[in-house]
Structure 1
């Protein structure tokens, strides 16, 4: 098998066609291009990785669903991918069998592997006579998304939006009882609305939208109150969720909502934060920028609304895909056409509360405005998210 031909795999497992075949071919072509360049630049014989379905690198480089321990290699000389799986009828560790297959092909010298290749897999490769060197080629390949990957992120992001809107609906219907927010209980009486209850509401909506909360839902009350205490009117409540969609890709969304807010500083902070997203979008429309440059632009835009160096402002920009945070993630990584990134901005209102917003942006061709993926209203008002 060479290039994007996914119907057969040399020397073993046959990759069945599935609903992800087309996208799998595109991903494999991307991986082939980046890995081949790394092998040529470092005069190496092959690239090898091993792991389970929990490893995003394995899921990315295998165009079929992975359910068992799997070892995958790219033979740079033959221009061919090889796969060995624990599900195969052959006995032995997949990495051991793959190492033997590479040696039988006459390959020798250096093998490139991801830095986090399992220790036992590394030992099998060394026992077969290869020297190992680490590469981030696969992570770099994953930094540019195919159309199918972008839609998979958008699917997860729509589920995130469903969760945030459910929370907004709960907050919009809440009443104030003894200084705290309450919702109607099954017996008709008021029931305290706690962060845990609101988090459960978000997770239920995420599941209802076909995604998995993945333990990434957080509700941060805008006060120093105990986490089990009722949420309070007038406090900024930060809602964050990063669900995993059915294809294994993540979304990432954060909103800050206030019930019966009185404006003031929270309003000014909110305006600065929301405007920073518009500024970053314009910046990336003009051309490719580094993570550091976009983070700096987000902060500068917030500060332009009258905030001093002493005012706490936090910005984070990172790719999103098979992991909640992936390439581009380091300061020097570039954000350009084909990247999908999460922009996260937070600014302090007072000692106990923040205004925080996070959205996912897909960067298309240079000169075109990047797309926000399934982004609900950024308003502080819960009712605004229900329109």
Structure 2
């Protein structure tokens, strides 16, 4: 069991280096930073104070104070900034510089300043979160295994789907009739059918989320199914043979850590664009296993992912995705981003994404999670990458 919170050593080092008297973080509602620092989720205002190597939490009386091995927890109904100032004064720091994340709420900052403290921002917690320890990596890998099973469920359904016309009066499974096709009305191909009813993006999404729930993870509102050129992945459309179908998930595990996985499937392909796009995305995916060693530049990795995708004849400006990923952990987007000049270090965990979009053909995407290890990078999970759902 840890003797202090995650990030505690980094906070103490920053406090010592800056000759500060302590560190304060204030969260409002569910917040990734407070979950990282405390190991649990709080749905309330919370004052986190680190002073003299010890951690103190102040929570309102509207919640039951938890028993935490990493912190002293007490009820305090004063505004979090005032509660934090009282903790600092109580533990021998009546004045001086206090470090805080740059996202500290304005009113909390004002309360600390009015109590006589000078605030200085620090990225110590952000930097600490960028390097995952073994338990964090295990949690992300568990979420990634669940993600693989969720996308695998989609693959199994698509492999079993047919392009046969519906019989009269056959609605099936609570889906009534043909859904809005998103505007591509000149395509008269029949919708894919599964289990006696038309198969839509929403129906497939629900099946994926049911599998994620059975795996013990939260879909976290991140599951999306996108069909060809129709719609933007939000409104339901019926799935058709021959179009690329992107299934993307970002489940959150019981401890808050997330996975990320996207695969593209085509049922009964009848064209070549999606195959070329898939080869490009798969080649970019493999680049991450070459350019993500400790000491490599995160921005260079991002540029190489884009360049490798574009090398297959796709426009860097119009077709290749700009979002090629970045850090992942308690939040879906963390440090390091895959741009700028940050150096990769062992313990970074990255969402790596390659995608191509064309207005006439649709979208192809492959997303995985990669760990930067001492011995080099490795992708988490063994999810197949092919377009054919029957080969999952």
Structure 2 CA distance, aligned partners of 1:225 and 1:326?
Answer: 29
- SS of residue in 2 equivalent to 1:140: helix
Matches within 5 A, 1:154-169: 154-169=141-156
Please list the CA deviations of residues 86-116 of structure 1 after superposition, one character each: whole Å capped at 9, or x if unmatched.
2335553454233112123134222111122
1:27 positional shift: 5.5
What does 1:281-320 align with in structure 2 at a 5 Å threshold? 281-285=289-293, 287-307=294-314, 309=316, 312-314=319-321, 315-320=323-328
Match of 1:343 in 2: 352
Alpha carbons 1:56, 1:322 under 8 Å: kept: yes
The alpha carbon displacement at 1:341 in A equals: 0.4
After TM superposition, the structure 1 stretch with the greater mean CA deviation from structure 2, 351-360 or 82-91, is 82-91
Structure 2 residue 45 is the aligned partner of structure 1 residue 69: yes
* TM alignment of 1:92-171, pairs within 5 A: 92-104=78-90, 105-171=92-158
- Residue matched to 1:333: 342
Q: TM-score, normalised by structure 2?
A: 0.83
CA distance in 1, matches of 2:192, 2:273: 26
1:309 Cα deviation (Å)? 4.9
1:259-278 matched pairs, under 5 angstroms: 259-262=267-270, 264-278=272-286
Please name the residue that 2:380 is paired with. 373
Give the paired residue count: 352
Aligned partners of 2:306 and 2:324 also within 8 Å: no
- Compute the displacement of 1:352 (Å): 4.1
Q: State yes or no: 1:85 paired with 2:59.
A: yes
Structure 2 CA distance for aligned equivalents of residues 335 and 263 of structure 1: 39
Correspondence for 2:179? none
Aligned to 1:32: 8
327-336 vs 54-63, which moves further: 327-336
| 3-state DSSP of counterpart to 1:180 | coil
Question: Matched residues in 2 for 1:153 and 1:225: separation?
Answer: 31
Alignment of 1:158-197 (within 5 A): 158-178=145-165, 179-185=189-195, 190-197=196-203
Gaps of 5+ in 1: 1-21
Instruction: Give secondary structure in 2 for the equivalent of 1:289.
Output: coil
> 1: distance between equivalents of 2:356 and 2:160?
27
Q: 8 Å contact 2:307–2:316 — kept in the other structure?
A: no
How far off its partner does 1:375 sit? 3.7
Q: Pick the structure with more helix per residue.
A: 1
CA distance in 2, matches of 1:229, 1:91: 49
* Unmatched 5+ stretches in structure 2: 66-73, 166-188
The 4+ residue runs of structure 1 with deviation greater than 6 A are: none
